[in-house]
Amino acid sequence: MNSINKLLEDLNKEQKEAVLSTEGPNLVVAGAGSGKTRVLTTRLAHIINEKKAWSSQILCVTFTNKAAKEMQKRVMNYVSNPSNSVPWLGTFHSISVKFLRRHAEALGFKSNFTILDTDDQKKLIRKIIKAEDLDAKKFSPQLIMYHIDKWKNKGLLPNNVKLEKSNFLEKSILKVYEIYQNKIKDLNACDFGDLILYCVKLFEEHQDIRKIYTKNFKYILVDEYQDTNFIQNKWLNLLVNENQNICCVGDDDQSIYSWRGAEIKNFLTFDKIYKNCKVFKLEQNYRSTKNILETASSLISNNTNRVGKNLWSSASQGELVKLNCYQSGKEEAQGVSDIIEHKLKKKYSLNNVSILVRAIYQTREFEERFLKVGIGYRVLGGTKFYERAEVKDAVCYLRIISQKYDDLALERIIGVPRRGIGESTLNQIFSFSSKYKLCLEDAIIRKLELNEFKPKIKNGLSQLINMIHKWREDSKKTKHYDLLKLVLDESGYSSMLKDKKDLENENKLENLKELLRAMQDYDNLQSFLEHVALATSIDQEWEGAKINLMTMHAAKGLEFDVVFLPGWEEGLFPHQKSLEEKGDLALEEERRLAYVGITRAKKEAYLSFAMKRAYHGDWMDALPSRFINEIPDNSVEKNEIEIERNMDEFEFNQDNSIEFDDEYRSPGYERFKKNKALKWKK
């Protein structure tokens, strides 16, 4: 008996049916932890082993290179002739490159075209912005790239984009897009978005080329189909032949990337596009305990735009999902830390413990706590809080205000925001500083006095030095956290981020708000800067296991023994901005995100919310997330946790302190208790 037969024997009934149904259009609705990858891999190996097609006649699309490599490796273990790899197994982009290398001339390119990276794109766009005399503050490369990428994901080249007449901003960006496309074509180059878009153009305009591939690909297999965008789905549909042997695998309940262009309707309408489609539902979960699964299933059942399935598990009932209520965000971090330290470390490796947050700035309070108690941690899919570029920029502004001889700080902020100060100017200042043994600030002042800079550079440097001197005076009479607000506003740093309306800059702004919140835990600027220095200099490469910190988005596809899901409060989760922009559609996606978060847990899950959060220096009552009301009472243990306050703990400054009365409960908390009439454990 060869390995593929053994593999088939080990599949459950639904998995086996999904593998063996090789003909016609198939949609495999694979719930969380239901063995999706196993089914896809086995199906691919089965087609090859049964000689239904040569490996070169199968198109298999994944979303990451890592997934493609893993699948290639597994298939080679299962097929009877492992010498033959699957040449058309890869990501949308890697396969598109193969198509375009072969047929570039049909689109007016040479086959050795260059693929531009992000830096190349930014440089080219900056040149266009300058040439078109556009306001660099209003039209940043990031903003323009965001719009270009959005249009390309929708399959729109410049001549296909339709705009409202009144939208001046997008009109200008569209003009840049047109110039940009012409320039990269002149360079015999493509960017990442072009790869799929040009393939679609190739297949639509050259039916003879398209026929080569529709005839060749007897079977098409697609992983993570719920994450496809418009142009990726069109690409797939153009490659399906008359036999329609396409099998798409995914989970509509885990569609959480609409902000990246993913369209859940591709998944939901698959059976309408392909009329004879067979739908297979993988509902047995092999990952989580019954209580975790019941909690997640009950929550996601509130969505209406879904295929629908009933996940079940043969695993034990397991521990109840814990729902913990804390008085503040700081106490939430302390409470989670205590649970890990006193309970979980004895049972699990820290490598199998994860904290999943809705917004990346939430990691700060947990990082602070872990540093304090010496628990090792890593931030997956992101950077540690005090190492984030915008946080380092803000701290460097404060450092140069505090200490004029901090050349490293001044060097970092001299060009942020842009002041027309390039590398050659910096080198002049460095040389002058070294020659006359001056700090950078004094070197700049001296060179300004000698009138040795060009007018534009002189103006930029004069403004910066004058602002630094003003801020030093301000620091004598202004609270340190108010000083940072002043610096961010007057330097133009805040407006630099606000003017570029994309997700990256929104996250940066949130991180800066969290930094302002963090500063209020310290009496003065000096003590805060000392804390930052110590936090960033501590050797964080602890030996042994580490807790995993990440966003829920970054956690998709991963699993852990224990998962903590903090910050389940209205406005934070579901996220208010998402709701404002997309309404009910966003609410359903936020709920899918909650489902993804809970189903990462294999053995234990902890949900939590705080009664109060600090926003911009003000304490605000928090209302528990509406998702909590959608969780079944019988699978959850509800705990009201009061943290013992240690005098050694750093506290808020006197002006901002809050007296916690044991009898006091926030309006949000009271509404929650009244609504649910819950019995809470103390």
Among all residues, which ones are annotated catalytic? 36-37, 223-224, 254, 600
- Residue located via tokens 């460097």: 396
What span, in angstroms and rounded, lies between the C-alpha atoms of 452 and 551? Answer: 49
Kindly state the greatest CA–CA separation across the chain.
Answer: 87
Sort strands 601-615 and 377-379 into parallel, antiparallel or unpaired.
unpaired
Spatial contact of 279 and 273, defined as CB atoms under 8 Å apart: no
What span, in angstroms and rounded, lies between the C-alpha atoms of 95 and 612? Answer: 50
Q: Which amino acid is at 214?
A: T
Q: What is the DSSP letter of 248?
A: E
What span, in angstroms and rounded, lies between the C-alpha atoms of 209 and 458? Answer: 59
Q: Would you list the DSSP string of 437-448?
A: T--HHHHHHHHH
Q: Which amino acid is at 389?
A: A
* Residue (of 342, 340, 61) closest to 217 by Cα position: 61
What span, in angstroms and rounded, lies between the C-alpha atoms of 79 and 45? Answer: 6
Spatial contact of 258 and 38, defined as CB atoms under 8 Å apart: no
Q: Give the helix/strand (H/E) hosting 217.
A: none
* Residue (of 676, 566, 574) closest to 629 by Cα position: 676
Using CA atoms, how far residue 114 sits from 88, 97, 129, 424, 628, in Å, is: 21, 11, 22, 29, 50
67 Cβ contact list (under 8 Å, min separation 6): 37, 223, 224
- At CB < 8 A and 24+ separation, what contacts does 363-366 make? 363/549, 364/511, 364/514, 364/515, 364/518, 365/329, 365/330, 365/332, 365/333, 366/333, 366/336, 366/337, 366/549, 366/566
Spatial contact of 197 and 152, defined as CB atoms under 8 Å apart: yes
DSSP E strands, 483-590: 547-551, 560-565
- Within 13 Å, how many C-alpha atoms sit on residue 234's CB side? 17
Sort strands 246-250 and 26-30 into parallel, antiparallel or unpaired.
parallel
Spatial contact of 607 and 568, defined as CB atoms under 8 Å apart: yes
Q: Give the helix/strand (H/E) hosting 579.
A: helix 576-598
Q: Give the helix/strand (H/E) hosting 482.
A: helix 480-490
Strand-pairing partners, residue 219, are 58
Spatial contact of 195 and 105, defined as CB atoms under 8 Å apart: no
- Beginning with the edge strand found earlier in the chain, give each strand of the sheet holding 58-62 in spatial order: 89-91, 58-62, 219-222, 246-250, 26-30, 278-282
